[in-house]
Chains A and B, each alone.
Chain A
Amino acid sequence: MSSIQARFQLDYGDFKLDVDLQLPGTGITVLFGHSGSGKTTLLRCIAGLQRAPQGLLEINGKLWQDSEHYVFLPTHKRSLGYVFQEANLFPHLTVKQNLQFGLKRIKPAPDSSKLAQTLELLGIDHLMERMPERLSGGERQRVAIARALALNPDILLMDEPLASLDFKRKQEILPFLSRLHQELAIPVLYVTHSQQEVAQLADYLVVLADGKEITSGLPADTLTRLDMPMAQDKQQAATVWQATVVEHESEYHLTRVEFSGGALSLPSIDADVGTPLRVQIYARDVSIALEAPTATSILNVLPATITGIVDDQSGQSIVRLLVGTQPLLANITRKSAILLGLKIGMEVYVQIKGTSILN
């Protein structure tokens, strides 16, 4: 089983990093945390841009750092791709020369048809002769992603690649990242403080605070942990389900998808039957009923079991439920929770008012 082991300890006086992580060797692992949580420092340690005095780093069987045996591979000898928060293109080189910078330095040169594919996927094949200063922020970041991927690295490291972009540019790049995700065989470590990016991209989630790992696991489980700050954010609290398209009801402009706990009706989407999807459900879009509502306009009503309840200090309760095996969050008022007598273990019905498709 391929995997990543990353153990680092460093002490800057006012900031300490102390992590010991076992991460999956494939898919996108999101390192999530607020600024100052150490997520970027961790990524820089993995890249070797920063040297943790105590560290052990193994990427799918390749040893990059082992401080006990004085092993430390310098960054330029590590087979990695790194996408910085600012695109960091070389301003004196054209887009093409930027892409070739790394290619010229590795032997044997990777298959060029793969690069052509990446360029097409990222939609930048028409920009090759431009200088970086004549690109938009979104284009720059896409070139930076292509430049990192061109080397066919063993791992892709991305440090908040969307943070410096406005909302529109973000929407322009996120679909590319989702698609990359399906086509890339290598592991990706993705640093962000955006719950939206977590929901959209994460296959595995590590939450960091004050230089320490506070939880990690599958996003559906980790995002719905009531003791974690993500679940307590009233606007952002949400869960992500993996689902598959099973049927189109064209007369109603609806699409039915199936997940491990049942089925959902979604606004019609343009995807073939069998297509895998990520469905995001915000806690604020979920309400709870004790009995199956017989007369309701809400289409998605599912049986569920309450597994946890927390109250915030402003009259709201967050309820964690299981629909089949899938965790779900509901944000209701404290008063409703008391009037309904909600308790852990109760069988109830959830009504889902809205969903969003993430890819």
Chain B
Amino acid sequence: MLTAADFNTLLLTFKVASIATVLMLLIGTPLAWWLARTQSGWKGIINAVVALPLVLPPTVLGFYLLVLMGPAGAVGKFTNWLGIGTLPFTFAGLVIASVMYSLPFVVQPLQTAFAAIGQHPLEAAATLRASPFDTFFSVVVPLAKPGFMTGAILGFAHTVGEFGVVLMVGGNIPDKTRVVSVQIYNHVEALEYSEAHWLAGCLLLFSFSVLLILYTALKTHPVAHPLK
């Protein structure tokens, strides 16, 4: 059975993933909109940077974040100056690291969905008195809905499944940074296979359900909205 400690790690995991997903949608939406529409020379570089966590070993990303946010790093010095201390081994630090790590899973579906909408609906909206801001919410968001759903689900699920980055930046502090994947590792280290089974089973079931939703309920691909 799940112990109280196990249950707390599950709760913490979903809290981290929820907050990170909201942040990723807030950051990822303007970023994806810009990437989908810009002709700037920066597009390639920004695209590569956003996609970096897809190929980088999580420990490498975690290591750099640890150094950067630590007392000697630029971000660490800044947060110290602000009087909020350093971020590694805190809940906030864990959320920030998760956002960096999972952002491409939110940005890429959004970028594809935005690009598929094209110029025409935006121009039609402009000729019908809608300002660009108005157009974004009344036309772009509804048309890109599958992209938003896919991005949010993938971003959330990917954050739940992270391990390397958490270990480097978050550490292993109960109720603060100890998430499910770390707890499973702890159980296995202590040869508590039965407990590890329960938690691992939970994650397996969760991941499978998420993918099942993606491939069945949301089978309308983000690109499936050609303009009539």
Contact = CB atoms under 8 A, between A and B. Distances in A.
A76 B126 contact: yes
Contacts of A48: 126
B209 to A, nearest CB: 28
A76 B130 contact: yes
Contact of B123 (A84, A87, A92, A147): A84
Contacts of A90: 121, 124-125, 139, 143
Nearest to B134: A105
Interface residues of A, number: 29
B127 A81 contact: yes
A133 interface: yes
Given A76-B131, A82-B127, A106-B129, A88 B139 contact: no
Interface string B135-174: 0001100110000000000000000000000000000000
B204 to A, nearest CB: 36
Interface in A69-93: 74-77, 80-82, 84, 86-92
A88 B123 contact: yes
A16 B143 CA distance: 35
Q: Is the contact region of chain B dominated by helix, strand, or loop, or is it mixed?
A: helix
A76 B128 CA distance: 7
Nearest to A153: B127
B227 interface: yes
B37 interface: no
A234 to B, nearest CB: 37
A74 B131 CA distance: 9
A163 to B, nearest CB: 15
Nearest to B225: A91
Contacts of B142: 92
Given A91-B143, A105-B134, A133-B228, A86 B120 contact: yes
A132 interface: yes
Contacts of B131: 74, 76
Contact of A101 (B123, B128, B227, B228): B128
Given A49-B127, A82-B124, 7 more contacts: A74-B126, A76-B125, A92-B143, A92-B225, A101-B125, A102-B130, A105-B128
A252 B174 CA distance: 102
26 contacts: A49-B126, A75-B123, A75-B127, A76-B128, A76-B132, A77-B129, A82-B123, A82-B127, A86-B227, A88-B123, A88-B227, A89-B124, A89-B227, A90-B124, A90-B139, A90-B143, A91-B143, A91-B227, A91-B228, A92-B143, A105-B128, A105-B129, A132-B228, A135-B228, A148-B127, A151-B129
A147 B120 contact: no
A248 interface: no
A105 B127 contact: no
A132 B225 CA distance: 12
Contacts of B138: 101
A147 B225 contact: no
A105 B138 CA distance: 12
Contacts of A148: 127
A140 interface: yes
A233 to B, nearest CB: 32
B216 to A, nearest CB: 22
Contact of B228 (A49, A75, A77, A89): A89
A147 B228 contact: no
